[in-house]
């Protein structure tokens, strides 16, 4: 049963990244405006990089490819998002509660990613078999 729990959790974490990535692609102006409202320089190219990272990372998690590496990459992504977009310590008083909630929620996702990374096998980066699932490569 634990393997089933890990698989479901991995898929749900993948969806957590994939769906917002797709939303960024379909409505880039909203994301860019949000980033610019937080004084993020180069918001437009960074939005496209974030969208690509969300989509690719989400798909890799869902399909079980390079899970350890992708989970750690998503951890870095969440830390950056938390500091740059959910800094509750530097927002207007009426936004503190919302940004604190987003910050803490993201820490929960980050914790899940760390657990997933800890449970996942390490895998070498190579062109051979990159498309195969981690289970097929290490199992």
Q: 74 in a domain, yes or no?
A: yes
pLDDT digits 0-9 by tens, 98-117: 999 999 999 999 999 999 99
State whether the Cα torsion 44-46-47-53 is positive or negative. positive
**Position 91 pLDDT exceeds 80:** yes
Asked if 10 and 66 touch (Cβ cutoff 8 Å), the reply is no
Q: 54 in a domain, yes or no?
A: yes
Q: 30 in a domain, yes or no?
A: yes
Q: 105 in a domain, yes or no?
A: yes
Structural domain containing residue 79: 2-125+130-134
Distance CA 96, CA 62 (A): 33
**Position 89 pLDDT exceeds 80:** yes
Looking at the structure of the chain, the number of domains it has is 1
**Position 78 pLDDT exceeds 90:** yes
CA angle 85, 88, 93 (to 5 degrees): 120
Q: 58 in a domain, yes or no?
A: yes
Q: 139 in a domain, yes or no?
A: no
Q: 32 in a domain, yes or no?
A: yes
Taking residues 38-58, report their average pLDDT: 96
């Amino acid at each position: 049963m634990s393997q089933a729990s890990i698989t479901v959790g991995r898929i749900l974490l993948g969806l957590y990244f994939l769906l917002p990535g797709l939303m960024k692609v379909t409505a880039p102006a909203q994301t860019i405006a949000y980033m610019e409202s937080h004084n993020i320089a180069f918001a437009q190219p960074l939005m496209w990089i974030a969208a690509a990272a969300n989509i690719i990372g989400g798909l890799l998690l869902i399909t079980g490819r390079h899970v350890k590496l992708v989970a750690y990459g998503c951890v870095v992504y969440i830390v950056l998002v938390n500091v740059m977009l959910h800094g509750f310590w530097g927002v207007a008083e009426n936004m503190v509660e919302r940004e604190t909630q987003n910050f803490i929620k993201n820490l929960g996702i980050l914790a899940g990613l760390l657990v997933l990374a800890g449970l996942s096998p390490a895998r070498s980066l190579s062109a051979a078999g990159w498309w195969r699932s981690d289970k097929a490569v290490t199992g």
